[in-house]
Every structure is written in C-alpha cells, then in structure tokens.
Amino acid sequence: MGRLLALRADDDPELAPVMPALRAWWARYDESGEVAPPAPPGDSGTVGLLATVPWELLPPTVLLWTWGAEGPLRDMLSVRIPELRRRQELPALAMLLSQTAVLDLFGGRWRSCEDAATEAVRLAEEVGAEHLITQGRLCLANLAAARGDTSVVEDHAVSTLRVSAAHGVRALAASAFWVRGRAALLGGRPQEALRHLLPLTEPGHEAAHRTTALLAALDTAEAAAQTVRADVVRSRVAMMEAWVDRTGAVWARAALHRLRALGDGEPTGTETSYRAALETGAGGDPFEHARTLLLYGEWLRRTRRRAAAREQLTGAAEVFQRLGAAPLWTRALRELDLAEGAGTGLQPAGLTAQELRVARLAAAGLTNRQIAAQLLISHRTVGHHLASVYPKLGVTSRTELAQIDMSGDLRLRG
C-alpha cells in the first residue's frame, strides 16, 4: 500500500492534501508504526476528505470504525455505490460493497451485511480480486459465527489463511483467528476461544495485530472470565482504557464498561459498569448491546435477583431471536429458565423444561436436526417432544408455533 500511495501522489497532484492522512491511516493498519491520524476522528479536515479519495486508496473500514470515524465513509458509500452500479465499474463496486458489508456488520444490520458481502464476493470473483473475495468472506464468517454455523466459519477461515500466507497480509490472518475464536466463544467453548484469540497479542505470531486485538478485546475477556484467567481480563481492560483515552469512540467506551464489569469482583462496581455499558450503547450495534444485557442478566441471576435478571435476559433473547443468533438465544432462554425457578420441571403451559427449549428453537425456524445439535439429543427425540408440545399449546404446525411468544409466559404474538 505504501508504494501505491507514493505512485498515486506522483500521478495526481490534487491528492497532495489528503496524502498525509492516508499514510497515517495505512501506517497503523500495516503495523509499520503506532501512527495516529493527523486530526481527531470526525474532524472534517481529515476524515471528510474521504469523499475525494480514489476507491483503491480508502483506509480499511475496520480501522475507521476503531477510531469512531466511520460516519463520513458511510455517507460517501451511499452516494458512490449507486454511481458505480450505473457505470458498471465492477472492481470499484466490489471494493465499496465490501466496505459497506463491514459497516453493516458492526452496525447490526445483518441482512444488509449478508447481501453486500455476497455481492462483493461474486463481483470480486468475476474480476479476480482475491483480497476483496476474502474481505467479503470474513463478513459472512462473522455472521456464521453468531448464528452457530461452525462449518461455514471454518470454510471461510481456512480460505482467508490461505490468502494471508500467500501474500503475507497479517491483518487477514488476525481476522481469521478472531472469527474462529468468536465462533468458539459464542458456541460455549471458551477454552478453545482463547487458543485462537490470545495469539492476536503474541509478539511474532502470524496473527499478532494491534487493531484486530483491540476489536476482539471483548470476546477475549469474556472467554478469559469463563476460564478464570483474570490476568487476561485485566490486560484487555488496560488496552481499552488506553484506546478510550486516545479516541473517545463510543463503541470503545461501551466496551470498556463491559470489560470492567467482567473484571470487577466487587458487586457495586460490577453493576455500575454494566449499567454504564448499557447507557453508553455499543456504537449502534444491537448484537453487542444484547450481549451486555445477557452478561448483566446472568450476573443478576447469580446474585439471586431473579426479577431484575428476567428483565435483562428477556431483552437479550428478543434481540438474539430477531437477528437469528441461535447460540446466544439458546443461552439467554436457558438463563431465563433458571431465573424463573424452573426446577419443578413444569412451565406455565404445562411444558417440561426440555419441551419448552425444543418449542422455542422450533418457533425460531430450526429443523429437528438443528435443534438436536443445539440440545445434544437425537432428532427423533426432538420429534417426540414436538408431538407433545403441539397439543399442550393448542397448535398443529410450526407455522402456528411461530405465532407464540416463547420469550417468557407463552403469550400469543401480535
């Protein structure tokens, strides 16, 4: 990228005003130095110049997001993508669609992310742009991780590492390690998650990458908290504190509060941090906001505040169900069962705890085999449970089952 920047500066003197900003952005992402952008994020004199930058020189979207400076990029993409479609400029369109997919991923707009990433991959394959194919596949891998599609995650991760090894792009290797770790964490395998996430800060490792390690700090700390690695949690708190002091980015402030909650052993401090994280938001990402609700609800349940726990857990379950984040939706519902004191084995509609779990997953659209994989039972057992659930709820099909509110007391929806 450094050579390309130099060539474009020579070719186009009109780029001279924006070149210092571009070199600063790319220097950090290329890991050639800890170089800050020449003006604060959001400063129109620096970030606003993105609208004038040739598409192939745009800084990586994840880097702009990290600095909380993605707004001008989003505005620029909304204007330039339709223009590129009209002119059929496929390489540029593939590039900007991959940028859009990242913004949609971090903003919790999963359907838009999937559409943009899928189109970016298709166009990139047509023009032979391997790096753009990989960027699109990484977005799809992140969606798959949240949805529990581990085979899809692995397919994309292997493809990414192949490209990274061939071209020596450390950022790609880091992203592959992160998405593998994220999938393991969300799938309830924290020890495995740490094996993928800790190398992001390991000097000399192929996946060591400061920007990716920062973005993965929440996943790393949660996995560490679940495996009693307080040292790792503290290191991520310190990392995020330094970044918040440097940028003040909203997503980073929310992340810091959640990190502190994970690492604070004192009840008052833990609750204060969770509340602060929820009040700050997560940069507009409903998935990360719901993850905070889930962690807070789990903590409230463990401290025997069941009514308060149910409020947080219900909110989390609703978001996970809407997004299709099956692993965390299942986890939120399991916590709701515990918070509701389901030890008697009977639910309000006369369902057993296992029947309720099966009914909730079926209502979300999972097949019998997918439900069986989630609950570690046979698909035939799932069928037996549904045969019992239908008459108890007064329904005869999955379509009717989907009209029942499964988040709490089995009310009809709408």
| 294 close to 316: Cβ distance less than 8 angstroms | yes
307 part of a folded domain: no
384 part of a folded domain: yes
Q: Give the per-residue pLDDT at 346.
A: 41
**Percentage of the chain surpassing pLDDT 70?**
81
Q: Give the per-residue pLDDT at 186.
A: 94
Give the span between the Cα atoms of 147 and 156, in whole angstroms. Answer: 14
383 part of a folded domain: yes
Q: Give the per-residue pLDDT at 408.
A: 54
Q: Give the per-residue pLDDT at 4.
A: 45
Q: Give the per-residue pLDDT at 16.
A: 65
Q: Give the per-residue pLDDT at 349.
A: 58
Torsion of CA 380, 382, 383, 386, to 10 degrees: 170
The total number of structural domains that make up the chain:
1
346 part of a folded domain: yes
Cα-Cα-Cα-Cα dihedral sign, residues 182, 183, 189, 191: negative
CA angle centred on 345, ends 343 and 347, rounded to 5°: 105
391 part of a folded domain: yes
Q: Give the per-residue pLDDT at 48.
A: 56
Give the span between the Cα atoms of 74 and 107, in whole angstroms. Answer: 11
Q: Give the per-residue pLDDT at 243.
A: 92
Q: Give the per-residue pLDDT at 129.
A: 86
Q: Give the per-residue pLDDT at 283.
A: 66
Give the span between the Cα atoms of 22 and 47, in whole angstroms. Answer: 10
Q: Give the per-residue pLDDT at 292.
A: 96
CATH number of the CATH domain containing 348:
1.10.10.10
113 part of a folded domain: no
- Residue range(s) defining the domain that contains residue 362: 341-414
373 part of a folded domain: yes
pLDDT tens series, the chain, 414 aa? 444 444 444 556 666 666 666 666 666 555 533 445 544 444 444 555 565 666 667 777 888 888 887 787 788 888 888 998 999 989 889 999 999 999 999 988 999 999 999 999 999 999 888 888 999 999 999 999 999 999 999 999 999 999 988 887 888 999 999 999 999 999 989 999 999 999 999 998 989 998 899 999 999 999 999 988 999 999 999 999 999 998 888 999 999 999 999 987 777 889 999 999 999 976 688 999 999 999 999 999 888 899 999 999 999 999 998 898 989 998 998 888 888 764 434 455 567 878 888 888 888 888 888 888 878 788 888 988 898 888 777 777 787 787 776 655 544 443
Q: Give the per-residue pLDDT at 371.
A: 86
Question: How many CA atoms lie within 13 Å of 173's alpha carbon, on the beta-carbon side?
Answer: 19
348 part of a folded domain: yes
